[in-house]
């Protein structure tokens, strides 16, 4: 990114040990090989060791085997050893970690709670072991591939390690993201066994159902009786397994699994606040509704993936009264009859709909919505047009959401079966954009105008001028650009 060199210049001029946070990746920026070298050199030269949070996302060049690690990493090793590691609470090295860094952190970190080393292909099981254990190579005599082929033996060997062989990270780590590294199930076992306060692996670990490892570790160890995990990614949760895990993970609040695993749940599971369910292109109707009606009272975030058909938004709203965030394909059976706000807590929604009626219903029920993205699709080969009258009628009804919404995206398109062509499913004119900007005082972004069919380039340019002249604090998103330009 163009801002990286500027940030490095600022660090060079103003950097000192008193800096507490350095977030190079705040805007999603990735730092290249040259700037990695410069950054680590600056950290060392300015003795920037007081950081509590360091966030760096690098390009893959940093991970190519054969590059001499001493070139950029020697300086980073120095600053870690000289005090940075002992001060860090949050460390993000996306594509930027190796076993040597983890070993230093293991020896020196005393308050590190969050560690992200995703896409760091130079990290393997040895690195995770050195993060958690002192002199692990002297204690564990079997090669890692030997341990991986003997799960039970590995757990028994590791369970014999005395507390004196554990680093402080075993007490402080709460989240460790190891996605897309060269780690195996052994690293998951190590973290479960020794990171006593571990709440999350930070994401889905492909080909490793964490629940299975939780059960195996528990069956072969006398302790702990329960684990601290609050987040679980597991795509194979039959009822018996889910029941066992519910007892071992009493603090579980975030669950990512397949919808089919939720159709016959045990009598009691922990109160979920965050549920991601993958439908796998299969339609589950009343059975999934039954799950929501029984366990949805505490859910605040609901994400439904790979749906062929929508689910009834009214039923979801009734079953999940605390819902704050929703991402799903949804529909409603009938127009809104306002008695009370069913989605009073909803703040963010990304929904696929087949009828503009669903958009109107949602806007009338979500009194405090802040961010809404709507994608109109075909239904059984028939498209319902999203026209100006939808917006006009909504404004006439004056729902409270018009006063709360800050970001609105209306994507009106239909994909062909081959998804090579897209056609607009709406006849919205630029007048609808003017109306929304006038009636929504907090609106800062309105899109996606290129899908509205009746909106031209000139319409957008003219409205951008009108926005500037009217001193409105809103931008139009059109063909991936914002108007008026900053």
pLDDT(323) > 80:
yes
- The residue with greater pLDDT, 356 or 154, is 356
**What's the pLDDT band for 29 if we cut at 50, 70, 90?**
low
> Which of 16-30, 109-123, 136-150 is modeled with the greatest confidence?
109-123
Q: Where are the beta strands (DSSP E) in 354-420?
A: 371-376, 407-412, 414-415
Q: What is the CA angle 339-344-347, rounded to 5?
A: 150
Look at residue 4 in the predicted model and tell me its pLDDT.
73
Paired residues of 275 in beta bridges: 255, 302
Mean pLDDT lowest among 93-107, 145-159, 191-205 = 145-159
Cβ neighbours around 279 below 10 Å, total = 20
Render pLDDT for 205-221 as a digit per residue (tens, 0 to 9): 866 688 988 998 898 77
E strand residue ranges, 24-87: 53-57
* Residues in a beta bridge with 254: 231, 274
Question: Mean pLDDT score of the chain, rounded to an integer?
Answer: 86
Q: What would the pLDDT profile of 391-441 be if each residue is shown by its tens digit? A: 999 999 999 999 999 999 999 865 544 444 444 556 789 999 999 999 999
Give 58 or 247, the one with higher predicted confidence: 247
Share of the chain above pLDDT 70, in %: 87
Q: Kindly give, in sequence order, each residue whose CB lies less than 8 Å from that of residue 170, ignoring residues fewer than 6 positions away.
A: 132, 194, 195, 196
Report d(CA 363, CA 410) in Å as an integer.
13
Q: pTM of the entire structure?
A: 0.88
| Beta carbons of 151 and 94 less than 8 angstroms apart | no
């Amino acid at each position: 990114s163009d801002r990286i060199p500027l940030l490095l210049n600022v660090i060079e001029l103003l950097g000192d040990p008193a800096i507490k946070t350095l977030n190079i990746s705040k805007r999603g920026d990735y730092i290249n090989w040259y700037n990695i070298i410069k950054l680590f050199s600056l950290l060392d030269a300015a003795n920037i060791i007081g950081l509590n949070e360091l966030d760096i996302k690098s390009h893959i060049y940093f991970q190519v085997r054969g590059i001499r690690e001493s070139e950029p990493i020697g300086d980073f090793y120095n600053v870690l050893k000289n005090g940075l590691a002992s001060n860090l609470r949050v460390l993000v090295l996306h594509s930027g970690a190796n076993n040597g860094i983890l070993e230093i952190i293991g020896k020196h970190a005393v308050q590190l709670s969050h560690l992200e080393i995703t896409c760091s292909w130079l990290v393997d099981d040895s690195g995770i072991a050195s993060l958690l254990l002192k002199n692990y190579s002297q204690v564990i005599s079997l090669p890692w591939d030997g341990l991986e082929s003997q799960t039970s033996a590995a757990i028994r060997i590791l369970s014999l390690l005395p507390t004196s062989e554990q680093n402080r990270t075993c007490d402080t780590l709460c989240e460790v993201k190891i996605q897309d590294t060269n780690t195996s199930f052994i690293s998951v076992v190590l973290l479960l066994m020794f990171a006593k306060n571990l709440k999350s692996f930070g994401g889905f670990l492909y080909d490793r159902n964490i629940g299975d490892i939780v059960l195996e570790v528990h069956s072969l160890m006398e302790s702990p009786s329960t684990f601290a995990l609050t987040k679980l990614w597991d795509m194979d949760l039959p009822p018996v397994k889910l029941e066992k895990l519910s007892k071992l993970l009493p603090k579980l609040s975030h669950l990512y699994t397949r919808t089919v695993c939720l159709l016959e749940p045990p009598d009691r599971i922990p109160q979920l606040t965050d549920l991601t369910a993958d439908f796998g292109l299969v339609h589950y109707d009343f059975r999934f509704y039954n799950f929501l009606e029984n366990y949805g009272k505490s859910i605040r975030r609901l994400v439904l993936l790979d749906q062929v058909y929508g689910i009834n938004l009214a039923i979801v709203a009734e079953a999940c009264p605390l819902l704050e965030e929703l991402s799903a394909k949804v529909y409603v059976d009938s127009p809104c009859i306002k008695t009370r706000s069913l989605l009073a807590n909803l703040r963010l929604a990304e929904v696929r709909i087949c009828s503009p009626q669903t958009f109107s219903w949602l806007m009338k029920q979500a009194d405090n919505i802040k961010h809404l993205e709507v994608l109109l699709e075909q239904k059984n080969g028939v498209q319902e047009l999203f026209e100006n009258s939808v917006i006009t009628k909504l404004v006439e009804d004056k729902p409270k959401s018009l006063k709360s919404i800050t970001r609105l995206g209306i994507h009106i398109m239909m994909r062909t079966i081959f998804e090579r062509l897209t056609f607009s499913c709406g006849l919205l004119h630029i007048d609808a954009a003017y109306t929304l900007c006038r009636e929504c005082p907090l609106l800062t972004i309105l899109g996606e105008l290129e899908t509205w069919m009746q909106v031209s380039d000139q319409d957008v340019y003219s409205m951008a001028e009108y926005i500037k002249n009217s001193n409105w604090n809103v931008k139009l998103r059109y063909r991936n650009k914002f108007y008026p330009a900053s």
